[in-house]
Structures are given as structure tokens and as C-alpha cells.
Structure 1
Amino acid sequence: MSILFFFILIPPILYFQFYFRRIILCFYPHPNIFIRLFSWIFALLFVLPAYNLFRFWAVVVYHLFAFALICDLVMWILHQRKVHNILLNKIYHLGVIPLLCLAILLGYAYYHMQDVQTVHYTVTTSKSLSKDYTIAFISDLHFPTTMNQKKLQKYCQDISKEKPDLVLLGGDIVDERTSYQEMKQTFETLSMIESQYGIYYVYGNHDQALYVEKPAFTPEMLKQTIEDCHIHILCDEVVSIHDDIVLIGRDDRSHQRLPLETIIEDISHDKFLLLMDHQPVDLEKNNQLVIDLQVSGHTHGGQIFPVGILSQWLGFGEMNYGYRQLSSMQVIVSSGIAGWGYPLRTGSQSEYVMIHIQSHH
């Protein structure tokens, strides 16, 4: 805990006591022990709530930290080149530029989260299909972090207009902050999406609200609500779709679940095997088991920049976002229709996915 505290909080605390002192001295240019003490206290009060990296205040603190450091670097370069401007120097000491950059970023992040895109993928297969299929895939709604019921209804209507054969809900549709009534409204709204072969759902790591001591609903209440809405829960189960597609729904990896080879041991590989797993894991293993297509969410595509890029560079997780072709299996990872924790997105876009499966047999 102390090591984590040091690396996360100590650098910004050290920096912001200089930052706040510099601002104070613009108004009271007489440095003394009281200004120094006040700067330390203010820096501590400002930074300490950012210890939880998954809360809004952490976004504020660490982005302001980054913008201020960049501003310092620019001013240092100008100083080295002997570029002096009294007005620019005054603005710099007032700390205005990092604050303005932060305000612009937060405005953009809020707008970007609300701007839900429709992403289309075409998946081809050598297996024989009686028709082409259109599949809608929605994941990581985390209702109501970023939208109300009216907005969700609009997206459901838009998806219905695409005339999907199948609707897949890829987990984390609700989470620990969702009330019981909001949970019911969410699945009732999603159940209104029109499709030919129904709506299927798999659990994410947040849906059952297991990360809090007193959740607003139990796993049993969640399950009953989903079933009452005529949404089919697949928990390490398979279902045949029109005798063409075998849909395999995994329980989330955060729970105890069956090995995939056990789930599919009696399944004919002549059918198109479509695997829905909330987290994009076991990709190479699933590829060896000759799954045709895996669809996942969970990563949010890196909700806050540069998390997504760092995840890929440092190898955190097997796949962060997009489409990948393996030797036997194709993979689609969605960034999700919303986000978790706060209604801000500076990384990849908010989206729902339309997948078009075509046979070239």
C-alpha cells in the first residue's frame, strides 16, 4: 500500500505545492512560511482524493498534472531560446493554461462519451449458411453512468431499424451503481429491440454488483428480471440459431466457469461457432478449438487515453479493441456503448456493433 501510495500520489503532491505557491505569489509576492504551509495543505487536499484512480477526481488531478508539466516544458524551452513575453509569463505563473486545457478536455470527453457510433463488421466463412446474418452486439452499458432511459430507447429503436437476426448483450449492462428500478428499466428497454431469433445475454464482471457490500439487487433478482424480459441468459451454455449458428455464451472469467472444450464437446463443427465472452481472453486457445468468431467487450477500448495504447504496448490483456483474424478464428472486441465510473471518454469511441456474417461456400 505504501509503495502504491508513493508512486501514485507523491509526485503530484510534490508538484502541486509548487504550482499553487506560484499562483499565490502572483497575488501576494512576499514568500513566507505561511504561503509555503498553505501550498502544502492545499496540494494534499487537492491530490489525496485522487487515490482511487477509477473516480472522476483522479481524472481531474492527473490530467491537470500532465497539462501543467507540458506547460512547464514549453516555458523552459522558450526560456532556453531566450524568448521572453511579459503577458505569457504572467499567464503561466497564474496557472491558467493547464486549467483551460483541462476544461476543454473534460468538455470533449463528456461529448465524446455521449456520441455513440454504429460500427459495422463483415465476417465471412467457408461454412455453409442458409442465409446471411446480421447480429447486433451491445456491451458495457453500465447503466445509468452515461445515459438515461430515453436515450437508451433511441438506440434500441436505431438497432431495430437495422433489422438484426440476433441481438447479443455482452455483459456489464448494469453495475454496482445501478438501482434495482434502473436495472429493471434497462432490461425492459433492451428487450424491446426487434430481432428474428431473439436476444441473448452473458454476464460481465460488474452485472451482479459483487464489488460492493450492499448491492441494490441480488444475482437472483438480476437473473429473474432478465428472464422476465424474455432475454435468454447463456451461462456456459449453447443454443442453436436457425440450424446454422451455434451460439456459445460463457460465464465471465471472474466467476468459476467450465472449460470451453467441455461446453462444446458434443457440438458439430460443421455449424458456424459464435462465442460470446465478456472479456477478450483465451483467444489462442479458442482459436485452437476452431471457434469461428468470438465477440467480447470489457476493455472499453481504453476509456481514458492513453490506457488503451499502454495496455497494448505493455501486454495487459490479449486484445484491447477492434478486429483480428487468427488462423481459424476471427475476433471482434467492442469499446462498449458507454463507460464505467464517470461519463467521460478520451480514448476510443462509444459504439454498438453490427456484424454481418456471410458465407462464401
Structure 2
Amino acid sequence: MSSKGLKINFGMLAFIIIASSIYFIINYYIGKRTIQRINHVFNINTTIFWIVFWIIALSYVAAKILDPYMPSRITNAFNIIGVYYMAVIFYLLIFFSLLDLVKLFNKRIHFIPNIIMNYSNLSVVISLVTAVIMVLLISLGSFNAKNSYVKNYNINVNKNAGGLSSLNIVMVSDIHLGDLIENKRLKKMVSEINELNPDVVIIAGDIVDSSIKPFLDKYMAKEFKNIYSKYGVYAALGNHDLMMGKGDEITQALEEEGNVQVLRDKALLVNESFYIVGRDDISINRVKGTRKPLEEIIKDTDYSLPFIVIDHTPKDIEEANNIQADLMLCGHTHRGQMIPNNLITSKIYEIDYGYLKKKDLNIVVSSGYGTWGPPIRIGSRSEIVNIKLNFKLPN
């Protein structure tokens, strides 16, 4: 084995050890604080608690490891427990950390009134409030994730599109089809799209989640064939579609079974009226691939017609502006999916959700239809985007 190979393996091993250590430390902290809260209300056997706790904490990892060897109903159960636990641990970590900080500061500056601190059942109240908050968060988050709404935009474009005065665009992104979001939810999405009577349907990446297996085994691509659209259904691939190295297989399934045109660094003239430009997500640069510059993709097009660019990650806005694109459709951010993650995405991207206009370029970023990890949305909603795009009429 080469020294380079040894370095790569050592680096990966170091990363796994560090990440695992952090995960175990966080979980031990959560477990310790949780059993303390429970014991304020009623006594629980410590040994039984820790056995159950670590089974739950490691269930997601167990699902991935056991998947090739165990029946799917067992690994799916572990997977569901694991992804919901991700949301629980996320908010418990925030809550317990804040509680410990309040206690620490109160010891120093005594800002909490003594009548509260001396209340005999204070710990019981805090424990019950914690439990109620967690139940409400998970319940609300599950509702927000599973029940979509329509986000409407009315956008004017200062270009002539042949004889078209307007275009009814329906866009979805981040469906994340897989073990959690399956055919039933996909059928519902297709029905919701059709209710909007679209002229064109655009899928802005992350069609598949972390594994292509359920997508292929359950023939999910076929359901896209039931979308009714005047000018067709067009898609670009997102980071999840590409980083698993299955972009070609996803493309083939969608095109052959779902009648979806997947545009991989390609511009397509639709109805002799407007262009749809689909780009492979920028993450392809990390999986032994490169994506073409927009200028190269559109070099043989008619610049006088409107351009609609599908780019999963809302990153290369200036590049779209430089080619005088009219509409850029993105996803990827999930609007943080669970607050306060939206504070992070809003700092990373110039626009992480909603609408932005820069010069003549209109950018729309969707929070997405599906979810990644926990099937929970707090501070965001599952959405379908409906855009009425109005064109300049000929003189």
C-alpha cells in the first residue's frame, strides 16, 4: 500500500474516532440530564434507562450497519427511531445547555428571585415543562414536514417569449425520496402539482435521499409520469443525487420511467419561446466531476429569449446574472429545516429562502418538499412553489 493510501486511511480513521467521541460525549450529557429530569418526577431504574437510551441513541447507526443482513421491517424501525431521535437530541442539547448556563450565571449574579429558586417543586415543574415542549415541537414539526402548502410568486420578465404572455411554473425541490418519503407521499405531491394546472414543472434537485435502492426497488420514478404539464417536466440534480455516485442511474430512471427530462449542464428550448437551463449541482466537483460554466452551456442559444436556470444550490448567482438569465430556481437550504439552523443558512447564502432580485435576475429559493434526516420542520414548511412568470408582449 502506498504512503498516500496510508495517509488517506489514517485521516478517515481519525475523523471517525473524533466524530464518534463527540457523538458519545453529547449523548452521555443528554442521557445524564434526561435521567435527572425523569427522577425529579418518578424514580427509574438506572441500568434499564441507560440500556434503552443507548439503543435509541445508536439506532440510526444500527439501521445502516444491519441493513444488508436484517429484514427491512427491522432496519426501517431502527431508522425511524434514529431520525426522530436526531431532532430530540438537537433540541434537548439546546434546552439543557441553556438551563445549565442559567444555573451557572444565577450562582454568580443571583438574578432569579429567591421565591422561585426556593419553590419545592421547581425541578418537577422544569421536568414536566421540558417534556411538554419536546412533545409539542415534535408534533408541530411532523405536521409541518408532512403537510405542504403552496408558495406563490408573481414575477415580470422584460423579454419577449414568442407568443406567450405568461407561464405557470410549478417548482419542487428536495423531495428526498427513500425509506422515509415513499410512494404514498410522492403520489400526494403529484396530485398537489396537478391541482395547480402547470404549464411547466421544474424539479430543482435532491430528488433521492441517501440511497438509490428504495427509489429503484419501489419504482418511484414511474409516479412522475402522472404529472400533467403543458410543456413537460424538467429536473436538475442536487448534491444528494450526485454525491452517492448514482446520477446516471437516477437520470435514466426518471427519463425512461417518469418522462422527466433531466438537464445535466444543458440548455433546452421549449415551445420556441423560452429556455430551461439545468445544471448539475456544484457538489459534483467533489465526486470526480466538473460542471460546465453557464456561458458555455448557453453559447448556441438565442439570448433574446427568456432563460430559466435550475441550480440546486443558491450559490452562483453572479454567474447567472452575467449571462442575463431571467429566473433562477434553487433549493438545498431547507430554510434550515429546524430553527435555529436558519440563522446559519442565512449567513452562508446571499438568499437562503424566498425571493431576491438582482438587476434583471429573479431568484427563488424553496424550502423544499421533503426533509433530510428527521422528518420534522420547525420554522419552515414543506412547500410547492407556484410562479406566474409574465413576459413582455411584442409591439
Query: TM-score, with normalisation over the residues of structure 1?
Result: 0.82
Aligned equivalent of 2:255: 227
Q: Tell me the CA shift for residue 359 of structure 1.
A: 2.1
Shift of 1:51: 11
Letter aligned with residue 273 of structure 2: D
Query: Alignment partner for residue 336 of structure 1, among 359, 363, 368?
Result: 368
- Residues of 2 paired with 1:157 and 1:286: CA distance? 32
Distance 1:22 1:301, change over 3 A: closer
Picking from 127, 130, 139, the partner of 2:159 is 127
Tell me if 1:68 matches 2:96. yes
Cα distance, 1:85–1:137 mapped onto 2, change above 3 Å: same
**Change in CA separation of 1:105 and 1:356 when aligned onto 2, cut-off 3 Å:** same
Q: Which has the higher helix share?
A: 2
For residue 113 of structure 2, the aligned residue among 80, 88, 102 is 80
The change in CA–CA distance for 1:89 and 1:159 in structure 2 (over 3 A counts) is closer
2:214 & 2:243 partners in 1: Cα distance?
11
| Residue deviations 1:86-127 (CA, integer Å, cap 9, x gap) | 3344433xx332122112111111111011011111110111
Report the alpha carbon displacement of residue 64 of structure 1 after superposing the two structures with TM. 1.6
CA spacing shift, 1:43–1:74, aligned 2, 3 Å: farther
Q: Measured at CA, do residues 286 and 308 of structure 1 come closer, stay the same or move farther in structure 2, by a change above 3 Å?
A: same
Distance 1:282 1:350 in 2: 24
Which residue of 1 is the match for residue 321 of structure 2?
Answer: 287
CA offsets per residue over residues 9-42 of structure 1, 9 Å max, x none? 64674575356346547767xxxxx98xx79978
The structural deviation recorded for 1:188 is 1.4
Contact 1:134 1:356 in 2 (8 A): yes
Find the partner of 1:150 among 173, 184, 193.
Answer: 184
Q: Distance in 2 between matches of 1:303 and 1:360?
A: 37
Distance 1:288 1:257 in 2: 17
Tell me if structure 2 keeps the 8 A contact 1:64–1:99. Answer: no
Q: Structure 1: which amino acid aligns with 2:351? A: M
The alignment yields a C-alpha RMSD, in angstroms, of 3.4
Count of paired positions: 344
- Structure 1 residues 354 and 44: alpha-carbon distance in aligned structure 2, compared to 1, 3 A threshold: closer
Partner of 1:101: 133
Instruction: Write the distance in 2 (CA, Å) between the matches of 1:305 and 1:3.
Output: 26
* Counterpart position of 2:73: none
Residues 1:349 and 2:378 are matched in the alignment = no
With over 3 angstroms needed to count, the CA separation of the structure-2 counterparts of 1:115 and 1:78, relative to structure 1, is farther
Hey, what does 2:76 align to over in structure 1?
none
Offset at residue 152 of structure 1 (A): 2.5
Once the two structures are overlaid, the 10-residue window that deviates more, 105-114 or 75-84, is 75-84
SS at match of 1:109: helix
Q: Is the 8 A contact 2:277 2:307 kept in 1?
A: yes
Unaligned stretches of 5+ residues in structure 2: 1-14, 62-81, 285-289
Q: Which residue of 2 aligns with 1:310?
A: 344
1:17 to 32, 43, 59: 32
Provide the residue aligned with 2:10 in structure 1. none
Aligned to 1:112: 144
What amino acid is aligned across from residue 258 of structure 1 in structure 2? Answer: K
- For 1:298 and 1:22, locate their aligned partners in 2 and report how far apart those are by CA, in whole Å: 37
Rounded to whole Å, the distance in 2 between the matches of 1:183 and 1:171 is: 20
SS at match of 1:68: helix
